Structure formats: structure tokens, C-alpha cells
Amino acid sequence: MRKPILAANWKMHKTVAEAVRFAEEFAKALGDEQSVDAVIAPPFHALAAVGPVLAGCSAELSAQNVHPEEKGAFTGEISPGMLADLGCGYTIVGHSERRALFGEDDAFIARKAAALLAHQIRPIVCVGESLEDREANRTLDVVGGQLQGSLAEIPSDRAAEIVVAYEPVWAIGTGRTATPEIAQEVHGFIRERLSARFGPTGAEIRIQYGGSVKPDNIRELMAQADIDGALVGGASLDATSFLQIVTFGRSEGSA
């Protein structure tokens, strides 16, 4: 049984004060709920302030990116050890915005994922096709290639700790969610690839859907066999909305 995992990716939003206010409200409402993994990924500047607030509930802190090296002359970057120091239990890698806007490739993402695991931080590894890919019927090729490349350095005995997020680029921030059937088709394919790569452990790896997830569509997404959670952008910026997503996702996911 895979525990539902609902994650908030705030991207480049919120002041420290706004982030703390959200975390306080969220922590109070979530309490010590153990039937779901709730994860909050603020921008870097707010990690140190949000971490101690989330320590009072069952939610985990996540970063949105990391550099694979331990330390050194990498101006503007942050290392896995630094994120562990801040109490991050998860970190997003390979988001399509990083791939498209900052030129990150699968090999670099693979190094990040492995470096995080070495610090006991669970990587949330994002994959997803563009609209152009989908229209050219390349979705499974693209997603398969990203998976193979981005997970290349994950040791089989640590595979159960990773999370894969399927985020079709055309559904991000557009209000255009993949239908549950379209999402499940790709999630099922990802599950097959994970099982081919990691054996029986592939069935334990959680696969999140991302792209215009909201309180009113999370249930039907979570009802799909291989959708184990969501990575939420816009609708995670409001505590009430994200709490609803966590609550609805939990009940549908464990049904």
C-alpha cells in the first residue's frame, strides 16, 4: 500500500512572513495526521523559518532544487548537506521549469537525486512532456527517456525512497488538467518502467501527478490506480485550498 503524498510547490512566491503564516495555519489543521504525507516546498529564503513550524505537525519540509556537489565555488547554489541542515525531508529535482528555463538535463538531475539520497533526503523527480511532444505522439518516448536518464544513479536498494512526479508541461499553470484517464495512462507506463528498472520495489514507488491540481479535481485523479499523490503549484499557495487537497487526496488515496 502506497501512502498518499501531497506536495505544495510554492515556486517563487511568498515573503517569509507569509510563508510562516501559512505553515502555522496548516500545521494546526494537519496535526499529527499519519495517513498521508504532506510536503511543503517554500522558496529557499523561507526554509529556515518554515521548518520549525512544520516540526510541530506531520508535514515535511522540501526544497525546490539543489546542487549535486557537497560544497565549493558554485555561486547561488545550495548543497544537499545544507538542505539536510535545514531539516528538509524531500527536495524537488528536474522540474520542467528547471529543465526549460535553466537548461538542466537528465544527467545533472540524476546526480542531484543521488546526492540527496546520500543525505537521507527523498528526491521528488519530475518528468513530463511538452504540448509539442504530446501532439507528435512522443509522450511515452519522452517520459521514458527522462525516467531512464534522471534515475540513472539511484541505487536499487534506495529506490523505495524516491518519488516520481509526472507533470505534463501543457497542464502546468494553464488550468488545463490532464483527464484522469490520460494521467493514468502515463502513470501506468511509469510504473512499468520503474518495475523494469527496480524489480518489485517499483510497485512501492509513489508517483504524483502535477498540473493544475485543485480541490475539485484531486479526488478523481487519486482514484486512478497508479496516481499516488499530487505536486501542486498555484492551488497550494492558499492554506485552505492545499488543506482540502491533502484531505481529499488522503481519503480517496487510501480508499
Please enumerate in sequence order all residues whose Cβ is within 8 A of that of 232, keeping only pairs 6 or more positions apart, or say none.
6, 7, 8, 9, 210, 213, 242, 245
* Active-site annotation holds for 13: no
210 touching ligand 13P, by CB under 6 A: yes
The nearest distance, CB 175 to ligand 13P, in angstroms, is 8
Tell me, residue by residue from 116 to 155, as one string, x for binding to ligand 13P by CB under 6 A and - for no binding. Answer: ----------------------------------------
Stretch that binds ligand 13P, among 46-54, 75-83, 189-197, 204-212 (CB under 6 A): 204-212
Query: In angstroms, what CA-CA distances link 21 with 38, 40, 154?
Result: 17, 13, 36
Residue 231 binding ligand 13P, by CB under 6 A? yes
With respect to ligand 13P, which residue has the nearer C-beta, 6 or 159? 6
Subset of 76-95 contacting ligand 13P (CB under 6 A): 95
Q: In one letter, which amino acid is 160?
A: A
Torsion angle (degrees, nearest 10) of CA 241, 18, 14, 106: -70
Q: State how far Cα 131 lies from the chain centre.
A: 21
Whether 185 and 209 have beta carbons less than 8 Å apart is answered as no
> Which of 95, 97, 161, 187 is flagged as catalytic?
95
Q: For residue 29, give the C-alpha cell.
A: 489543521
Spatial contact of 119 and 86, defined as CB atoms under 8 Å apart:
no
Q: How far apart are CA 156 and CA 247, in angstroms?
A: 32
Residue nearest to ligand 13P (CB): 233
Nearer to ligand 13P, 212 or 224 (CB): 212
Q: Which stretch binds ligand 13P (CB under 6 A): 15-23, 104-112, 138-146, 167-175?
A: 167-175
Binding-site member from 116, 213, 218, 222 for ligand 13P (CB under 6 A): 213
Q: Site residues (CB under 6 A) for ligand 13P?
A: 9, 95, 167, 172-173, 210-213, 231-235
